Amino acid sequence: MKNLAVILLSISLGCSAQQSTTGELVANEDAFFDYVDKNAKIEVLAEGFIWAEGPVWVKKDGFLLFSDVPQNTIFKWNEAEGISEFLKPSGYTGILPYSREPGSNGLIINNQGELVASEHGDRRISKMPLTKGGKVTIADTWRGKRFHSPNDIVQTSTGIYYFTDPPYGLPEQQDSPFREIDAFGVYKIDNDGNVEMVVSDLKRPNGVALSLDEDILYVNQSDSDEPYIMAYDIKSDGTLDNGRIFFDASELQKEGLIGSLDGLKIAMDGTIFSTGPSGVLVITPQGKLLGRIATGQRTANCAWGDDGSVLYMTAHNYLMRIQTKTKGVGF
């Protein structure tokens, strides 16, 4: 508790009335400024985290939730109160120490208004009410074998979940003696709770997002040799087909820009906002890079909030936001 108190103190200092700004906007195309005003500022809302991840906006109550994976904690932020602890432990309930990243990672609010978490340490997808009540496991195994460390998740309007399962939350990661599945898969959970691996050939699947019409699943791969946003056609039975490279971030890495492809979200016209080298990449539905919201930090994930036009970003030990000129899916 002493360590948490110190961390929370440093976090609270980032929530003063005089919020700092950081980074810059880098346009590859003039159309970038159709999405972000050229004078928009990247605000630092809080700092002092270890590795902030998986933000989600709770529309009903007007606040943001996000994970600090190493701290095994979900934090809450709103404009009036700043930062508070929402849930601890968030992703690992066993005996410590376990791994460097035991907590929850990607978070969503499902179709029933429940908080769904990708849990590293407990190696499962869980759900829980936002008010009172315990967690329920949605899935923790495939063919009787435990997942590695579920990372990010999305749900379709019909209720199907897709999530990724890289090794980041395991002790020793890919070399962990606790591994039970050979592939680092992308999985589907249907409405009856059946689990199916729908992608088995990615090295480090990470962020996931659905296209506007839910016909395509985008999957970010956080691999330095193959830094791709992959696109897969979603078939009528929920399985995937026609996997292809949608965007290749290799050239950005060659420029020495820091950060990997990680989380991604979709704007109302289908434009992709993906974390990647330098911050958040703004990419057309045709795969053309328009520009970058350069945070100056390794940026893990992002989420639409407020009225849907504000982009919240978890960037290393920071929580940031920027006002955009578009809105996210679901608002």
Helix (H) or strand (E) holding 164: strand 161-164
Percent residues over pLDDT 90 in the chain: 93
DSSP secondary structure code for residue 13 in this structure: H
Q: Write out pLDDT tens, residues 241-261.
A: 999 999 999 999 999 999 999
Range 201-220 average pLDDT: 98
At 142 the three-state DSSP class reads: strand
The pLDDT assigned to 331 comes to 85
Query: Model confidence at 13, in pLDDT bands (50, 70, 90)?
Result: very low
Helix (H) or strand (E) holding 160: none
Kindly state the tokens that stand for 70.
């190493």
DSSP secondary structure code for residue 173 in this structure: G
Which backbone phi and psi does 31 adopt, to 5 degrees?
-65, -15
**What's the pTM value of the predicted model, to 2 decimals?**
0.94
User: How far, in Å, are 151, 255, 278 from residue 258 at the CA level?
Assistant: 21, 9, 5
Multiple choice CATH, 2-323, 2.120.10.30, 3.40.50.2300, 2.40.10.10, 3.40.640.10: 2.120.10.30
- Is the predicted pLDDT of residue 6 greater than 50, yes or no? no
- What is the rounded distance in angstroms from the CA atom of residue 66 to the CA atom of residue 283? 24
Beta pairing, strands 124-128 & 195-199? unpaired
Kindly state the tokens that stand for 104.
């929850």
